[in-house]
Structures are given as C-alpha cells and as structure tokens.
Copies of this chain bind each other. A is one copy, B any other.
Amino acid sequence: MIKTAILGLGNVGKGVASVLTGNRAEIARKVPGGLELGYILDIRDFPDSPFADKVTHDYEEILNDPEVKVICETMGGKEPAFTFSRRALEKGISVCTSNKELVEARGRELLEIAREHNCSYLFEASVGGGIPLIAPLLNCLEQERISSIFGILNGTTNYILTKMDRFGAGYEEVLKEAQELGYAERNPEADVEGYDTGRKIAILSSLVSGKTVRFEDTYTEGITKICPADFVYAEEHHYCIKLLGISSRMEDESFNVLTAPYLVPQGHPLYAVSDVFNGIFIHGNMVDDLMFYGRGAGTLPTGSAVVADMIQAALSIGKTIPIRWDKERVDLKPHSELVSTFFVRTDLSEQEAVRKAFDGKIADDWSLPAFPDEYAFLTGPMSEAEFAALAEKLKFKTRIRVLC
C-alpha cells in the first residue's frame, strides 16, 4: 500500500479522488495494496464531501508523514504549486500533475530536482486530458525520429468551433453558452486566445526535442476573429476550422512551433475530432502517421491520467522515471519563415487590388454565390513574410492557414 495526497480539490483533484476510490480494485491489481488517499490539501473545507475527513490546511502534515510517497498537484497556476512540488520532491516524494502552466514554465527544473532526490515528476494529464500521450511518446516511440506533432489540444475552443460550425452561430453567442455549461471559464482568455494550446504544444515540443521550448517564444493566434461566414466557405470546400498547436522539426534540427486556427480537410482524421475531444497527430520516420484521440479535459478523464502517473510513480519508489528535457533552448525558426497556404476573404471591391498584388500566387477562387459582395481565394504556398508583404496594402476580412 502506498499513501498519497491530493494538493487542491478543484475539478481535477476531485477526479483524482473519484478514480482512486471508485476504481480501487483495478489500481490494486497493479500496485500491491493499492493507493490510499491519505490527505487532501485545500484552503477550503468540504463538509459535505465524502472526503471531508481527509482535508487538511497544513502542508507540513503531509510532508512530515513518512508513509506518503506519491502526491498529485492539481492546484493549477505557478505558485504555490511550484514551491509545494519542489518541497515534496526534495523529500523524495513523487509528484504527478495536470498543471500545464507550471509544467511549461518550470517542469524542467522540477524534473531535475526529482532526479536529484530519486523520485519522479510526471505530467501526463497536462496535455490531452485523459489521453495517454506523453507516456506513449516517451516509452513507445523513443526509437522514432519524430518530425512533427500537432493537433487539437484545447477542448473549450474545439467545443466553440464545433457549435459555430454546426449551428452557424456567432462566436460571442457560443462562448456565452459554453460558459453557462461550464466548458469555458468566466475569463476565457487562456483558451480562446490560444495560450492553453500554446503551452501544451510547447511542452510536447520540449519532450520531442529533449531541449526547452518556451511558449512565450512561439507564435500564438486565437479563435476570437473566426466568424460564421468562415465556416460556410470552409464547408463548401470540404474543410472544417480547428485551433491547432503545431510543432515541426526541420532537417537542421530547428523547430517551427505555433498555435493558430487552421482549415482542416475532410478525410484528415482531425476533421472528425469534435466537441470537447482532443486529437494529437504524430509523424515518425519509421511509424509514419499516428493519432491519439480522447477527452482533452473533464474531471474524470483528467483525474484518470493523473492516477495513471501515480501508479507508475508508486511502482518506481526510490527511483526516477527518466524524462529527457535539457535546459538548452531549441533553435526556433522565425515565424516569418513558416510556409503555409492561406484562405482569404475580402470585400468584392478589393478583388482587383488583390489580383494584382497576388498575381500568380492565387491557387483557387473560393468565392461563393451566397456572398456576392465578397471575393475569397486560396493562396499557393508562401512564407508568412511573403504573405504579409503581398497583403500589406490590402484589407482582409479573414485570413486562415490551411493544413495540407
């Protein structure tokens, strides 16, 4: 039996508690004696919770219990999550987390501290919610040279885009509905501006490269400018619109990392990833294409991924589960060099100016009878810098990249 603690009884913490107690028998098949929930650290009390008797407000009580070998940090945010995680690791207690903000910002340091104290820092649940992704990436694909990893990494925005697509609704309207349903936070900025996806693709890029990619160094574009008409054009041409985090490794070992809305073609497996689901595509030089699909958020799925890590940590007491993540920064290619094709919508009055500026660079006319006052087109492949230069004096209603 291994004694555990949950730091922070929010949504994910509650999920961890539910999995630990609800699937006790399954866990005990793998960890002799099972995982016992010893403590829940929170500033609040939960008198009506079945876990009320586990709640403590004093972290020292947990740290000073020599039976506690594995804890989960489901507090979110950088502090006090970092300090609490560091202190546990320094005592040889393994820490498992869903906290992508902390992992992105200071995960590497925490891995180093874990290594120094013969315990583990694990963060499967920080990317892709319940989807087994980081463990397969580290333990099933280490023989691969991974050239790209990209996908739908944020359930909230995928829910919003799916509803806009299906019901022709506007962004603000769907956001409000998502907030009422609890799918979007009251301050939705981290989701809708792409920061959450950006942090996750930064974490995945660091794991794939073995070096460090910081979110703040990558290009990030959210979904707030997507409008109902965009979906009409997309659908007519057999595409849907998804917010993607994309990381590509170049021949010279530099990386292209960005977050942006993309047109995804019908037939691509990501096309069918709807609602709050996530889908992550991986391309390896031997295995070719892979996709992992599942619930990217939610109390129980995310709690399940945290518990999966807790089991692995419990099976490795006294040892460190190795994760390669060096301090050295990855050589990031300037965003201006990224080559894409672009879907563009503009007023019909701009058509002549566009045709002149983009002479020979327009791959397809996407104009639709339903929008007689607009001119829409698809560019050929060009760099961001080239697109920006050609578009300099033009006014576009929409400019969305296209996944090839």
**Which of A43-51, A291-299, A351-359 touches B?**
A291-299
Copies of this chain assembled into the complex:
2
**Chain B: minimal CB distance from A253 (Å):** 12
Task: Summarize A's interface: helix, strand, loop or mixed.
Answer: mixed
- A124 and B277 alpha carbons, distance in the complex (Å): 26
Q: Is A139 an interface residue (CB 8 A)?
A: yes
Q: Is A19 an interface residue (CB 8 A)?
A: yes
Chain B residues with Cβ below 8 Å from A227 are: none
Chain B residues with Cβ below 8 Å from A294 are: 287-291
Chain B residues with Cβ below 8 Å from A383 are: none
**Chain B: minimal CB distance from A133 (Å):** 9
Structural contact, B130 and A288, CB atoms closer than 8 A:
yes
Chain B residues with Cβ below 8 Å from A140 are: 124, 132, 135-136, 305, 308
**Chain B: minimal CB distance from A131 (Å):** 6
- A201 and B301 alpha carbons, distance in the complex (Å): 25
Structural contact, B292 and A288, CB atoms closer than 8 A:
no
Structural contact, A287 and B295, CB atoms closer than 8 A:
yes
Chain B residues with Cβ below 8 Å from A52 are: none
Chain B residues with Cβ below 8 Å from A132 are: 136, 140-141, 290
Interface size class of A (residues with CB under 8 A): 35 or more
Q: A130-B288, A287-B130 are in contact. Are A23 and B136 (CB under 8 A)?
A: no
Of listed A26, A30, A210, residue having the most chain B CB within 10 A: A26
Q: A139-B312, A140-B136 are in contact. Are A269 and B267 (CB under 8 A)?
A: no
Closest partner residue, chain B, to A302 (CB atom): B287
Contact of A144 among B23, B124, B144, B290 (CB under 8 A): B23
Structural contact, B142 and A29, CB atoms closer than 8 A:
yes
Chain B residues with Cβ below 8 Å from A22 are: 285-286
Chain B residues with Cβ below 8 Å from A274 are: 267
- A301 and B290 alpha carbons, distance in the complex (Å): 10
Q: Is A93 an interface residue (CB 8 A)?
A: no
Q: A139-B135, A145-B26, A286-B22 are in contact. Are A293 and B291 (CB under 8 A)?
A: yes
Interface residues of A in 13-41 (CB under 8 A from B): 15, 18-19, 22-23, 26-27, 29-30
Contact of A142 among B30, B144, B145 (CB under 8 A): B30
- A322 and B28 alpha carbons, distance in the complex (Å): 14
Please name the 4 residue pairs, one residue from A and one from B, whose CB atoms are nearest each other, closest first: A132-B140, A291-B293, A130-B287, A286-B304
A-B contact pairs, 28 of them (CB 8 A): A23-B143, A26-B142, A26-B143, A27-B142, A27-B143, A29-B210, A30-B142, A130-B286, A132-B136, A135-B139, A139-B312, A140-B308, A143-B307, A143-B308, A267-B272, A267-B274, A268-B272, A269-B272, A269-B273, A284-B304, A286-B303, A287-B294, A287-B305, A288-B295, A289-B293, A290-B292, A291-B293, A293-B293
